[in-house]
Amino acid sequence: MKGQDAQAPATPALKMLIVLGGIAMLSGFLVVLVDQLTKPIIEANQQRAIERAVFKVVPGATLRRNYLVTPEGVHPAGDVGSGNGITVYGGYDDQGRLKGIAVNGAGMGYAGLVYLLYGYDPDCACIRRFEVLKMTETPGLGDKIISDAGFQANFIGPDGLSARLNGAGTALENAILTVKHGSKQHPWEIDAISGATITSKAVGKALNQSAQNLLPLLAPHLEQLKRIDIAPAESPTNGKGE
């Protein structure tokens, strides 16, 4: 075949087009087929991942509702973020009572952005838990923010981490601040991990920035989120919150 190619006139362009077109069509068919087959499974996986994180940061929650928070108001939303506004996840217990609101945040750490999901408890106006979604901090140092009991104690205590709005409702009364290890004095301060100060500060920055943006918008509409009606089919065990 090599010999033929060298002497015979060049392959006609039409043949090339047909072959490439044929291969492209075959490829397209395969990709669409696999996409159709896997799409429902992938979506279910993603929902489960979000749900797992939301239920972790909102203790007691068994149901989830998504909301889009904009300066105009708060609206129910789908799983895919729709442009302008902040997507938050309301966590409800099986009676439909609001247990807390899970919100995304991100702050610059030692080796890149630290992405968090944190749970805001409207009853005590505080942050009760946070979960790291993604980070590239040094294993053994920066990733202590997940495992260090002392650091977690900043949030887990009876009053959580204070995130109270000021009287006018325009910003936090006291900005959330990460302080040096061992010098926490106020409920809005985060006691840093010694040896992982930069990552601890990233958590503080992420929480503060996100809370400052979100809470003034969210506060006036909190009442409308307090309760939801549960459809009979929506049992807590298999509820998807959609």
Partner 1 sequence: MKKKAQLELRTSPHAHAGQDVVQIMRNVVWATVPIAGFAVWQYGLSVLALLLTAVLSCLLSERLFNRLGLEPSTLGDWSASITGILLALTLPPGFPLWMTAVAGIIAIAMGKALFGGLGMNPLNPALVGRAFVQAAFPVAITTWTPSLFNGRFTSFIPTTLTAPFQRPPAITEWVQGVAVDSFAGATPLALMKFEHAATPVTDLILGATAGSTGESALVILVCGLYLAFRRMLDWRIPVSIMAATAFLSWAYQLIEPTAPGPLFMLCSGGLMLGAWFMASDMVGSPVTPLGVVIYGLLIGFITVAVRLFGGLNEGVMYAILLGNAATPLIDQWTQPRVFGADGRRKQA
Partner 2 sequence: MGMNKSDDVTWDSFAEGLWRENPVFVMLLGMCPVLAVTNSAINALAMGLATTFVLMASGLLISLMRHLIPKQVRIAAFIVIIATFVTVVDYSIQAISLDLYNALGAFIQLIVVNCIILGRAEAYASKRRPALALISALGMGAGFTFALLCLGVVREILGAGALFGFDLFGANFEPWVVMVLPPGGFIILGAWLLLFDWRKHRTQLRSLQEERGRAG
Contact residues for partner 1, defined by CB under 8 A: 110, 138, 140-141, 180, 194-195, 197-198
Q: Classify residue 223 as left (phi > 0), alpha (psi -120 to 50) or beta.
A: alpha
Greatest alpha-carbon pair distance for the chain in Å reads 88
The set of residues, in sequence order, having a beta carbon less than 8 Å from that of 90 and lying 6+ positions away, is 64, 65, 66, 67, 98, 100, 101, 102, 225, 228
d(CA 157, CA 137): 26
Return the one option of partner 1, partner 2, none that residue 115 interacts with (CB less than 5 to 8 A, by type): none
Query: Taking the CB of residue 216, how many other CB atoms lie within 10 A of it?
Result: 17
Q: Which residue in the block uniquely carries the two structure tokens 């108001």?
A: 73
Least distance (Å) between residue 2 CB and partner 2: 6
- Determine the size of the site formed for partner 2 (CB under 8 A): 27
Least distance (Å) between residue 201 CB and partner 1: 10
Scan residues 122-161 and list those touching partner 2 (CB under 8 A): 134, 138-140
Q: Tell me, residue by residue from 36 to 75, as one string, x for binding to partner 2 by CB under 8 A and - for no binding.
A: --x--xx--xx--x--------------------------
Least distance (Å) between residue 56 CB and partner 2: 15
Note whether 170 and 211 are within 8 A (CB).
no
Return the one option of partner 2, partner 1, none that residue 46 interacts with (CB less than 5 to 8 A, by type): partner 2
Note whether 85 and 69 are within 8 A (CB).
yes
Least distance (Å) between residue 197 CB and partner 1: 6
How many Å separate Cα 3 from the centre of its chain? 61
Return the one option of partner 2, partner 1, none that residue 166 interacts with (CB less than 5 to 8 A, by type): none
Residues that bind partner 2 (CB under 8 A): 1-2, 5, 10-11, 15-16, 19-20, 23-24, 26-27, 30-31, 34-35, 38, 41-42, 45-46, 49, 134, 138-140
